[in-house]
Chain A
Amino acid sequence: MGSLIEIQNLTFWYGEDKQEVPVIKDINLSVKKGEFIAVVGPNGSGKSTLIRHLNGFLAPCRGRVTVDGLDTAESRNLPVIRRKVGMVFQNPDTQLFASVVEEDVAFGVENLGLPRAEIRERVDSALAQVGMLEYKHYPPHRLSGGQKQKVAIAGILAVQPECIVLDEPTSMLDPRGKKEVREAVRALNAALGITVIYVTHDMNEVLRCDRLAALSGGEIVFTGRPEDFFADRECLHRIGLQAPPIKELVHSLTEEGFDLPRDLNSPEELVDALCR
């Protein structure tokens, strides 16, 4: 499949002073259509800064970012780019701004200037996709964190984007909320083929992604399959991340002499492999 987002030699400073160490250092990354990419890295490694380039919130100081061939540095491209690339943020409380759920989901579509009947249809189908249709008349402040994030995702879906970027969407949620949101995102990727770029601190969430990009100090230090990433213990250690418990367990067992495949992602798979 073709590539959707191209990042070429991206370098970025927040300040004017170009002598300082840049926040993003010469990053190259290409995101294919329909891919599920996870972005990980320690605090301050530049994950949020990087993804803010993807919808033109930030313009590169050096290098180029294109979405479907459109340069994000050109402001006349921004409306189209923002329609193609939706963004979900960390705090569920500051993303919903209407007094009723369905109004909020409609917000992005209303910005497109579509006729009323079409808005109605898109809002309902987006809410149904994330399983929140029955809450459409609720005020947002009466929803749980996970439900709010799902409504935020529905609001993006209603615009029918090609790509959804999520910046730590689950970090303020409890385990149940995390699971709800994670599953909703997976379903979109699998069922609708929407490209997903998922920033997270939770290593359990990246196990099943297609590709993983690890950032450290503004540089991409790894891109590839998650199991290869977690197998490279030296790299993990250097950037200060820890593999999820299941990977740690598999690793310990391998060191004890068990011959196990590297792509085991759940206790059940591990049990199967051991019993074989």
Chain B
Amino acid sequence: MEGIVLGQYVPGNSFLHKLDPRTKLIMSAVLLWVIFLLEGPLEYTGFGLFIVFLYLLAGVSGSFLKILRPGLYLVLITLIINMIFTPGRVVLDLGLADITREGLIQGLTMGFRLVFLISMSSLVTLTTSPVRMTDGLELLLKPFKKIGVPASELAMMMNIALRFIPTFWEETDKIRKAQIARGADFDSWNLGRRIKYITALLVPLFVSAFRKADELSMAMEARGYTVGMERTSLHELKMNPRDYLVLTVFFISVAAFVINKYFI
């Protein structure tokens, strides 16, 4: 299935591609938090431009719209619900519902936050190969092993999940076509019917996923894997001077932003 970009890696050689996955994971985590601090049109515009700049820098700007497409519905719904249900000064009277000034602002804020969240987190998966990402995640979580966080197992789960996303879509597509051949209409406007057809899609999908999981765990065990074992890794992650530089500049900027906003 095309158009599914979630969790997909676009190989490249840009500055962002070359950063260590840990650097990217840390920065995106901080930026996701910063999104909720933004206030006012100026800051929103600034952050939006910053994201566009990052996409251009990474050379993955072509994927930007594709990523947003699935999220766009969510954004629209958020926008509409907020516009209609927030009380305040009416700017547009639609008879049935009134659009208020507060609602409009609230809706736009939420909508933009969603767009930022989606595009920010996708940027990491777009510029990091799944293998390096899971390695990075594992290393980041390693200090928490002592308090019982199963770092290697989490990384392994993520690795497998990423590997099976394409297989899963292929499978969905296959079952969907099989059901359409039997007369299912997935685009039906009748909600009851649509739910029925979607159930007919989900049940075989889950059955097949469980069977796959079973076979997969057998294959892993046959190759000597046991949960919680000590493993070594083919690839080595190395923080380069570039990573330390970027992280330093990044944290100084974020700190400056926060201090300027709340303490001055």
Contact = CB atoms under 8 A, between A and B. Distances in A.
A141 B167 CA distance: 7
A98 B164 CA distance: 9
A98 B159 contact: yes
* Size bin of chain B's contact surface: 20 to 34
Interface in A93-130: 93-100, 102-103, 106-116, 119-120, 123
Contacts, number: 97
B129 A99 contact: yes
A155 B224 CA distance: 12
Interface in B224-240: 224-226, 229-234, 236
B236 A116 contact: yes
Given A102-B234, A107-B223, A110-B233, A97 B160 contact: yes
Contacts of A93: 167, 212
A156 interface: yes
B33 to A, nearest CB: 28
Contacts of A63: none
A49 interface: no
B37 interface: no
A94 B223 contact: no
Given A156-B223, A159-B223, A100 B129 contact: yes
Given A89-B215, A110-B231, A141-B167, A100 B131 contact: yes
B233 A95 contact: no
B223 A86 contact: yes
A110 B235 CA distance: 10
B232 A139 contact: no
Of the candidates A100, A109, A111, A140, the one having the most CB atoms from chain B within 10 angstroms of its own CB is A111
* Size bin of chain A's contact surface: 35 or more
A91 interface: yes
Nearest to A155: B223
Interface in B18-35: none
A79 B218 CA distance: 14
Nearest to B216: A94
A116 to B, nearest CB: 6
B213 to A, nearest CB: 8
Given A106-B234, A123-B234, A112 B224 contact: yes
Contacts of A94: 212, 215-216, 219
B92 interface: no
A97 B129 CA distance: 15
A57 interface: yes
Given A99-B159, A113-B232, A83 B129 contact: no
Given A89-B219, A93-B167, A94-B216, A103 B234 contact: yes
A119 B219 CA distance: 20
A97 B216 contact: yes
Contacts of A114: 232
Of the candidates A99, A111, A156, the one having the most CB atoms from chain B within 10 angstroms of its own CB is A99
A108 B221 CA distance: 10
Given A116-B234, A116-B236, A139-B166, A111 B229 contact: yes
B219 A95 contact: yes
Of the candidates A100, A103, A114, A152, the one having the most CB atoms from chain B within 10 angstroms of its own CB is A103
- A-B pairs with lowest CB-CB distance, top 5: A94-B215, A108-B223, A106-B234, A99-B130, A111-B224
